[in-house]
Structure 1
Amino acid sequence: MKISDFIRNLVFFHCNPRHHTLALIEGKRPKRLNHFMLQTQSINDVGATYDLVQDQEIWITRGLGRHTNDHMTSFYMKTPSGFDVEYGWGARTVDDTTWQVQRHENGSIWGHRPVPAGVAS
């Protein structure tokens, strides 16, 4: 595992060309899974699933947005088990011969706004 970059107190690691496979954060909360991510083949998959999730009244915890570090366009939804699934497209890749680790202050270029439970997104 090699470090891809940082966002505040999060550190992102990669083990292949995908921008990151694992992210860790030091926190005061109990250790637990925050979310896992499903990467789609196209932005249209993200849009169609965003509509479907809304139609099924699944809690979207963070609306559409684009991340600063991996450039993923995605949204987050809550599972019945209480953790999130990030659903997105468009992540950048890492070439270890040229990649430079960066530190970002914000998690998103735009969007990913929190959506309170029970509020339509």
Structure 2
Amino acid sequence: MTVDFLSCIEPGDTVLADKGFPQIKSELLKRNALLVIPPFAFDPQFTNSEIDETYKIASVRIHVERAIQRIKLCNILKFIPITLLPHIDAIMHMCCVIANSKPPLIKNSEASN
């Protein structure tokens, strides 16, 4: 069974996306969710507030990339035969469980910043 990503969004959720996904903003607003994308540079240079916002988003994206890397390091997803595709959601879920069983990605001092 395929689940539409947007149908999984709940009120109060925050979605972090690249600049190439502004078209989902209206769908997220309907669901009372927040879309966070890096600012666009309308002038050749960002303002100080845009620089600060870009830095904050980049620091979160680093942790997201680390979490994705942990899932990839399981190497389970490299060897899935086509016959197991109907079970991909359960397989992906287990890869995430394995990744989440490891020590935290963010130290307590980093999480409070």
* TM-score with structure 1 setting the length: 0.28
Q: Counting strand residues as a fraction of each chain, which structure ranks higher?
A: 1
Q: Counting helix residues as a fraction of each chain, which structure ranks higher?
A: 2
Larger Rg: 2
* TM-score with structure 2 setting the length: 0.29
